């Protein structure tokens, strides 16, 4: 009985933390959706590079809503000893866990497929909006400056963009000389081809692989917490009358 009460209390505290995290993510998601530029300035190039591949605001809002729901179900189910809430908590967490494992497998095995898919979405947008849409241009400039990269794949992504049509040169980040740490100007197509600056997608992958131990540790920690939460919720469910 003492063990049951202890696990019940820990379940409540754990899900209160999840609930508060959900509130925080929801608030940040709304902030990003309303004023993404200020978010990018505060959190730097990594946040801006992420904004190239997903709509961070909507993603955070969705994640926050899921965490809010999980936190509520976990707290309510443990506090009131409600079997229905506990089993809903278990199954939602199980679905999330399976989706995360599947996403990790796809990311590891089908990196090239993911790159081709993203290329089809991102590159046409660059050609259409870089140089004409202020926020979009600023996000990409911050990304390229922070990661020392050029475009999504390389400098050719900017061909026929409003920026190139207006200035007859490529963004200066595409002519970054790594040997002396300076930008070669003017950044013509010939100079950009000679410098061979890496695309931002490959550069981001390189940074992730460089920090693979940290990324893997965080992923393993999250997976462990999810498994522990599922085990605890099922333990409470099976021991309720």
pLDDT tens string, the chain, 241 residues long: the values are 678 888 888 888 888 888 888 888 888 778 777 765 555 554 544 444 444 444 566 777 888 888 889 889 988 888 888 899 999 999 999 998 898 888 777 766 766 666 677 778 788 888 988 988 887 888 888 888 888 889 888 899 999 899 999 989 999 999 988 878 788 888 998 888 888 888 888 877 777 667 667 767 777 888 888 888 888 888 888 888 6
- Note the pLDDT of residue 9: 87
Start-to-end CA span in the chain (Å): 13
In the chain, how many H helices and how many E strands? Answer: 10, 2
Domain parsing of the chain, residue ranges: 111-227
In tens, the pLDDT along 21-54 reads: 888 888 877 877 776 555 555 454 444 444 444 4
- Note the pLDDT of residue 111: 65
Q: Are residues 183 and 192 in contact, defined by beta-carbon separation less than 8 angstroms?
A: no
Q: How far is CA 16 from CA 54, 69, 72, 75, in A?
A: 28, 11, 8, 7
- Residue 139 backbone dihedrals phi, psi, to 5 degrees: -60, -45
- Note the pLDDT of residue 211: 66
Residue whose C-alpha is closest to residue 48's, from 174, 133, 56: 56
- Note the pLDDT of residue 163: 92
**CA–CA separation, 80 vs 68, rounded Å?**
18
Three-class secondary structure of residue 172 per DSSP:
helix
**CA–CA separation, 198 vs 157, rounded Å?**
12
């Amino acid at each position: 009985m003492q063990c049951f009460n202890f696990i019940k209390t820990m379940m409540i505290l754990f899900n209160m933390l999840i609930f508060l995290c959900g509130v925080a993510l929801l608030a940040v998601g709304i902030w990003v959706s309303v004023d993404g530029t200020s978010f990018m300035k505060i959190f730097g190039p990594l946040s801006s590079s992420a904004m190239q591949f997903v709509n961070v605001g909507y993603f955070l809002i969705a994640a926050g809503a899921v965490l809010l729901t999980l936190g509520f179900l976990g707290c309510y189910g443990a506090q009131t000893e409600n079997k229905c809430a506990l089993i809903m908590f278990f199954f939602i967490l199980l679905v999330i866990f399976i989706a995360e494992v599947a996403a990790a497998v796809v990311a590891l095995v089908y990196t090239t497929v993911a790159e081709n898919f993203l290329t089809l979405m991102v590159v046409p947008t660059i050609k259409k909006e870089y140089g004409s849409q202020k926020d979009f241009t600023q996000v990409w400039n911050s990304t390229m400056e922070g990661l020392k990269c050029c475009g999504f794949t390389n400098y050719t992504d900017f061909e026929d963009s409003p920026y190139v049509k207006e200035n007859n040169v490529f963004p200066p980040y595409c002519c970054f000389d790594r040997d002396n740490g300076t930008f070669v100007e003017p950044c013509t197509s010939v100079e950009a081809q000679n410098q061979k600056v890496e695309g931002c997608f490959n550069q981001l992958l390189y940074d992730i692989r460089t920090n693979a131990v940290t990324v893997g540790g965080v992923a393993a920690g999250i997976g462990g917490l999810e498994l522990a939460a599922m085990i605890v919720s099922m333990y409470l469910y099976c021991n309720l009358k």
